[in-house]
Structure 1
Amino acid sequence: MRVKILEPTLKNISRKNRVCAYARVSTDNYEQGESLENQITYHGNLIAANPEYELVGVFADKGISGTTENRPQFQKMLGLCRERKIDLIITKSISRFARNTTIVLRIVRELKELGIEVIFEKENISTLSKDGEFMLSVLSSFAEEESRSISENTKWRVRKKFETGQLIINTNRFLGYDKNEYGELVINPAEAKIVERIYSEYLSGKGTFTIAKQLAVDNIPTVAGGKWCESTILGILKNEKYMGNVLLQKYYIPNHLKKSTVLNKGELNSYYIEENHSPIIPKEVWNKAQIEIVKRAREKGNYQGNMKYQNRYPLTGMLYCSKCGAVLRRRTWNSKADCRKIVWQCSNYIRNGKTACSGTILDDGSASRLNIHEPTIVKETIKNGKKHYSYSGKSKQTTA
């Protein structure tokens, strides 16, 4: 038997490794910004100097914690990896890549399945090496513990500042005040006029919606440059800082990995400081505003005092969908105007979608004006492109 060797007709084409680097710092301060620039320059030069490497880019996130995946440049890099446009990622250390063990291992395993290597320079770990994942799981747990320790130390420093009456306020998002060279609150005269206007108009009988609308008509932006909402106006009216006092630790962060704040309902100490800074609103006027807020809330039937909404809202369990008989549930929507909108929506539709029910949606303002005191069926009809509603007592109509 004769065996004939068929030579390959295509020559082996050697391709450079497509390499990128990832860098991150967790704050926006000057020193860390400089550190980030140094990381970018170093890795860019490192990759460009290797003849076997083709530089894809250096992806860098600034001012974002490593405990979260929601980092724009990090996600952009992963997107290119999933498109098979990257062969190798170089990063300074595990903590730069991520400070959450679960995130590190999950992403590294995904990249490994795609044949993509990650090199952690400080720890001298390659994810494609035999013991790479074992070492990574051990060292990344240290990185996560370090993050927790940093978080606890930071919270300790913040609480110590609160105990001594030191403020931590971002005046870039606080209408009416700036900070002087000593970190003290000082009145911003131009912004203070807006605050005074809001209190004056509210106490003269105008509602928060009308006040917000008129500020927008007058082309007066919010302190953050956004649009005025009822909730923004109400927040200003309720803020004790405008009468010169401060309540510290209204909110706290329970989980160092999620970084989200929750309202302090007595879980931690709070600190109330009187006459901390110059007031924009006299104490008597501020107190009148609080009385008026409660008075209007009671008139609408939605004042709950300091109760924890155990019974939810006055209309909870009172409104029913005419299409399926399910109870309507109170929901908060974010509208295009970046303002909150409260509606009552069919709970069957919420849970199971339009296959279960086409749904009924009723605006909270309309519902509140009905003065409902018994279970009521809400019938929604559309005429000439507009929604119309009719109501009947639940006992008077049979529902499916």
Structure 2
Amino acid sequence: MKTDRIYNVGVYCRLSKDDGNEAESASIGTQKAILTDYVKRQGWHLVKIYVDDGYSGTNFNRPDFQAMLKDIENGLIDCVVTKDLSRLGRNYLDCGLYLEVFFPEHNVRYIAVNDGVDTLNRAAMDITPFRNILNEMYAADVSVKIKSAYRARFNKGKFMATKAPYGYIKDPADNNHLLIDEKTAPIVRKIFDLALAGNGIGKIRKYLNSQRILRPAAYAAENGEGYERYFKDSEENRYIWSENSVRSILRSPVYAGNLTGYKRPTVSMKSKKRPSRLPEEWETVPGTHEGIVTQKEFDTVQQLMTSRRREKNQYGYDNVFLGVLKCADCGYAMRAASANRRKRPDIIDCVQYCCNNFGRYGNVHCTSHTIEARDLLNAVMTDINEYARMAVNDEKAVKTLQQRLSKISDQEAREYGRERRRLAKRVAELDKLFAALYEDKVMEKITERNYRLMAAKYEQEQMNIEARLSAIDAELVAKGRNDKGIAAFVERIREYKGITTLTARIVNELIDRITVSERVKVEGGGYEQHIRIYYKFVGALDPARVHEVTPRRCLVPDKACQRCGEVYSPLSNVAKYCPTCRPIVRKQQEIESSKRRVRSKKRQNGA
């Protein structure tokens, strides 16, 4: 459309990595030639050529595109020219926002030469929203194809990162396969050995620093892989490991011979946010290369790290249940408490566990669930020995146990299937609503404010649906039980037949968690307490019972009650009254204390 106005033109050229395989007409040089020639023929003034080479059209956070927007806001240009509409972008919502809102608000004319788009021509602009939708569909199609290609290669166990992880090198014969690096693999092996021995990340880091072992970045720099800039100011930094480096090695399944990926997947094609996933949510392809450690050793280290184990507490007690012991009623951790008043030779007999929730807030939220450390240790060790004996000697009992394992019912599977189909249908409906909403905005049936409010509402619903679908998948995995689980359990527990000492390593290799119930009185005197052990692969089997025929007493001599004179067995050295007199004395003390407060208050008022 010819006009007499002389425009100050900004020519915009863009080429994404995916467009690199297209014909020569899509290259930056060709775009510049076409557009500069077009501006000259119109007799306009070419102010600047903006170029974004290697940037996707779905992302509008491009350097030169943002520079062009600033120049528009500063009034330097009043016309934008591109080769076609897809060079501006491939996100139809954002493209529409610039064409329908930003450019008109700043009195900027936009022209896409090959597509015949001109914001001064309303007839041509009526079809523009549909061109934007087609451009986005193209980008979405390319995105799906690329992701599918990467997914297929990942599922085949192909390593696709630019650099091999520390401890490995890329196979010269196959760039997508990993080989053990004989120079650094022993260091990785030592890190895992230290962790298996119960050392924390801080201690492992101190050991590596004391041995002056090159940190991963320094080793990569020596092999010409960059990072040299980090060590220009201080040569000593080459030998200073960070806790994050140690933690990332201990957490990476690659060292057990597994390929891991999708640690930070994109939310969608339109969003570049990459939220981090927890290690248990990573996707893993097992057995893709030779591991530096075994899978069993790797799993044990994960359990040790998760439980945040300490070697010994301040009382010298080796708490082998730290991180796995929970209250059966409220789910809080059970903490070890030392009763120093007890006159017992072994430290374990001076320790008991109680609910941490009760310890913090009293009986408002939970009860004590107290259990002797010795009783718990004996009960767990007896349970492990029993199943280890059965795994070695009793095949019939193993088959019976396998039949008892819970399996996800057909009814549950059908319910989850129905919910998944309902959610998938709603996702399709939201896609249609998005398209209709944008058309309403373009046709000015709704205001910009209402458009943004509705779009945000639909987007939030989409995120909620995606979260629920992920939760359904997680529940299906958690509920699923199969023969492999009992086989792995039997294979692992048979190694511990006849154990006489229970260590933190054994607990973490066999057990996910242990729950302890409250003690209850039984007929005939004494107490009974249930503990439930949740083994790895199979979960809880039979609840163990801790019987206590007589109440717990400390090893202190009998003494006479200071009130009635009767001889009784005290619970501690500081006890003064027998069980009969103790509540009477406490009541009298409370009454006397109340009287003293009243007298003190009267004296203050009189003064």
What does residue 96 of structure 1 align with?
87
- How far off its partner does 1:254 sit? 4.7
Q: Partner residue of 2:145?
A: 153
Distance 1:212 1:104, change over 3 A: farther
Indicate conservation of the 8 Å contact 2:198/2:309, yes or no: no
Q: Report how far residue 85 of structure 1 moved.
A: 1.1
Superposed displacement of residue 36, structure 1: 4.9
The residue aligned with 2:408 is: none
In the TM superposition, 1:254-333 aligns within 5 A as 254-261=267-274, 272-274=285-287, 276-283=288-295, 285-296=297-308
Q: What's the counterpart of residue 158 of structure 2?
A: 167
Query: C-alpha distance in 2, partners of 1:80/1:207?
Result: 55
Query: Could you tell me how far apart the structure 1 residues matched to 2:65 and 2:135 are?
Result: 18
In structure 1, the residue matched to 2:192 is 199
162, 178, 182: which one aligns with 1:185 = 178
Q: Name the counterpart of 1:42.
A: 33
Kept after mapping to 1: 8 A contact 2:307/2:324: no
**1:61 aligned to which of 41, 44, 52:** 52
User: Which residue identity lines up with residue 241 of structure 1 in the other structure?
Assistant: V
Q: Which residue type is aligned with residue 61 of structure 1?
A: D
Decide whether aligned partners of structure 1 residues 190 and 22 sit closer, same or farther in structure 2, where only a CA change above 3 A counts. Answer: farther
* Distance change >3 Å, CA 18–CA 204, structure 1 → 2: farther
Aligned with 2:215 (options 220, 225, 243): 220
Q: Deviations over 1:145-183 (max 9, x none)?
A: 2222222233333333344x1425313374344354532
2:254 to 218, 241, 265: 241
With normalisation by structure 1, the TM-score equals: 0.58
Q: Which residue number corresponds to residue 26 of structure 1?
A: 16
1:273-305 CA-partner distances (Å, limit 9, x unpaired): 22x113334545434432431342599999699
Q: CA deviation at 1:258?
A: 1.3
- Structure-2 residue corresponding to 1:371: none
Distance 1:270 1:280, change over 3 A: closer
Contact 2:35 2:81 in 1 (8 A): no
TM-score by length of 2: 0.40
TM superposition shift of 1:204: 5.8
Contact 2:205–2:242 (CA under 8 A) maintained in structure 1: yes
Structure with the higher strand share, 1 or 2: 1
Distance in 2 separating the partners of 1:240 and 1:47: 57
Q: Give the drift of 1:83.
A: 0.8
SS class of match (1:171):
coil
Aligned to 1:57, the other structure's residue is in SS state strand
- Stretch deviating more after TM superposition (99-108 or 16-25): 16-25
> How far, CA to CA, are the matches of 2:119 and 2:254 in structure 1?
52
Once the two structures are TM-superposed, the CA of residue 45 in structure 1 deviates from its matched residue by: 5.1
> 5+ unaligned residues in a row in structure 2: which ranges?
221-225, 231-236, 314-320, 326-330, 335-355, 361-607
Shift of 1:241: 1.0
Give the CA deviation at 1:247.
4.1
Tell me how far 1:51 sits from its aligned partner. 8.2
> Which residue in the other structure is 1:351 paired with?
none
Q: Does 1:105 align with 2:96?
A: yes
Matched length? 296
Aligned partner of 2:118 in structure 1 is 126
**CA 1:139–1:44 in 2, change beyond 3 Å: closer, same or farther?**
closer
SS at match of 2:170: strand
CA distance in structure 2 between the partners assigned to 1:312 and 1:78 by the alignment: 55
Deviations, residues 4-34 of structure 1 (Å, cap 9, x unaligned):
xxxxxxxxxx9963322223333389758x9
Instruction: Measure, in 2, the Cα distance between the counterparts of 1:106 and 1:146.
Output: 19
SS in structure 2 of the partner of residue 75 of structure 1: helix
**Could you tell me how far apart the structure 1 residues matched to 2:41 and 2:216 are?**
52
Corresponding residue SS for 2:143: helix
Sort the Cα spacing of 1:133 and 1:15 in 2 relative to 1 into closer, same or farther, 3 A: closer
Give me the whole-angstrom Cα distance separating, in 2, the residues matched to 1:54 and 1:194: 64
- SS of residue paired to 1:58: strand
The structure whose Rg is larger is 2
SS at match of 2:61: coil
Alpha-carbon contact 1:91-1:120 (below 8 Å) kept: yes
What is the root-mean-square deviation of aligned Cα atoms in Å? 4.6
Give the aligned partner of residue 436 of structure 2: none
SS of residue in 1 equivalent to 2:122: coil
Alignment correspondent of 2:72: 81
For residues 101-138 of structure 1, the C-alpha deviation after alignment (integer angstroms, 9 at most, x for no partner) is 11111122212221222221331211232234322212
